[in-house]
Structure 1
Amino acid sequence: MSTILEHCQPKNTILKKVKAKLEQIPTPMGGLALGIASLGSAWAMVSPNWVEPIKITSAVIASILILVIVLKLLLHFNLFKKELAHPVIGSVMPTCAMSIMVVAQSLFKVMPEAAPILWLSAIICHIALLVGFIANRIVNFELEHMVPSWFVPPVGIIVAAVTSHGMNFDGLVYWLFIFGISCYAIELPIMLYRLIFRAPIPDAALPTFAVMAAPASLALAGYLKITSQPDPLLLLVLAPLGVFMTGLVYIGFIRLLRLPFSPGYTAFTFPMVISAIALIKLTDWLLINNFTWLATITDNLAWLELIIATGIVSYVIVRYVFHYMVKPLFFASR
């Protein structure tokens, strides 16, 4: 009997160590997974000869990151509830579900039957996280707690529209888009009031300012995905707003990139990528409708934004690898 217990003890020790390591994984890393998966999709849009290798590679990397986060939350359920109740961490948790939607679309050609199930499951998870976030914020609402990442739970659901090709849920996607863009229209003026007239965002949450670049561009990308005949007036609102907000965040990077590293750096990634994706989609629509001169402008802007997005995502990956892998190995004793 004692021999059996001695044999099991090392395994229990290993499991405890793994569980302890997983607890240290930052949940905001879901934003990095979303940025990587989306960046692969963006480059696939402009690299027709390398579509599948690019999308699959980025999807695999993102899947590994998401799997680690999911394991952490499953093994530490009390921590999951605590983080969901946090005004900043809780707001970025849906990025995990958004990442899975992008991964599902990236793997659609190689997994045509499983991809829609994965995609639909991600939507259900996103809605559950949205409900949980809203419930916690209603109970503990303070305007000063409001940060730009609060756009993620309600507006981020539009990723379902962007990734809906081949999923055959057109009705669902339409209403999710309507919900997301309506939430943006309601939340944007409140967010601007909070940012301009109330206390500044604390440095710890300041990276979330980069999220300001995402909603308008995400809405534009989603809108161009669900309809082939978009309302020109809505395009005239979303496209300039998306470019303006992205430009604002570029200026903000002068300060944001000087902040000490934190898991919140992931907020820099997806907003930059979706801004480029929106302009790529807009360029395609303009070319189809013979707005060649305007398409030339948006195409140049799209390439500029894609290059910047690639640089930002690469930078955040390097910072994450150094902080969570290199630093513990070589600088832990110092």
Structure 2
Amino acid sequence: MPESTIPLLTIMTAPGSLCLAGYISMGGHLYMPLVVFLLILSQCIYGIVVVNLYKIMQVTFYPSYAAFTFPLVISATALVKVKPLFAEKVGLTSLLNILSTFELLLAVAIVSYVFIRYCIFLFQRENNKKKVELN
């Protein structure tokens, strides 16, 4: 696998979370076994990605780092949307509050990190162009 495509591994996190967020957003009567299945699926894949995130981020910066942003943000969004559905389950509500706070903070941190790295990348690229033009 080429080094530049390694950050794309985080995209695995998105499908389950996207389906969960979309399903909950549709409104109406929700089939709770499907909600639970999508929640467990998305959180398991999210967990695998988070465990490997440090290793994945050791790769040299490439524009493909943008792949970190959407999957982590949609996972946090899905978890925030699912919390009210389990409001009467006291123990589960506490767990979902902790997980959603963690996912939101991680999403903000990763989006900020990618933004900063993109700015540095573009600034360096622009400086390199100017150096070539001067020669």
Same fold by TM-score greater than 0.5: yes
| Aligned alpha-carbon RMSD (Å) | 1.9
Match of 1:211 in 2: 11
Compute the displacement of 1:295 (Å).
1.7
Pairing 1:202–2:2 present: yes
Aligned counterpart for 1:324 among listed residues 112, 118, 122: 122
| Structure 1 moving runs of 4+ over 4 Å | none
Q: Deviations over 1:60-79 (max 9, x none)?
A: xxxxxxxxxxxxxxxxxxxx
Structure 2: which 5+ runs fail to align?
A: none
Counterpart-to-counterpart distance in 1, 2:128 and 2:102: 37
Aligned counterpart for 2:42 among listed residues 209, 227, 242: 242
Match of 1:299 in 2: 97
Counterpart-to-counterpart distance in 1, 2:124 and 2:108: 22
Match of 2:73 in 1: 273
Compute the displacement of 1:331 (Å).
8.8
Compute the displacement of 1:219 (Å).
0.6
Q: Deviations over 1:172-226 (max 9, x none)?
A: xxxxxxxxxxxxxxxxxxxxxxxxxxxxx33221211000111101111111111
Pairing 1:223–2:26 present: no
Q: How many residues align?
A: 132
Q: Deviations over 1:139-161 (max 9, x none)?
A: xxxxxxxxxxxxxxxxxxxxxxx
Structure number with bigger Rg: 1
Match of 2:32 in 1: 232
Pairing 1:310–2:108 present: yes
Pairing 1:255–2:60 present: no
Counterpart-to-counterpart distance in 1, 2:12 and 2:43: 11
Higher relative contact order (CA 8 A, sep 6+): 2
Q: TM-score, normalising length from structure 2?
A: 0.88
Counterpart-to-counterpart distance in 2, 1:260 and 1:302: 29
Call closer, same or farther: CA 1:249–1:332 in 2, change over 3 Å. Answer: farther
Q: Could you tell me the percent identity over the aligned residues?
A: 33
Q: TM-score, normalising length from structure 1?
A: 0.37
- Which shows bigger deviation, 218-227 or 291-300? 291-300
Counterpart-to-counterpart distance in 2, 1:226 and 1:236: 16
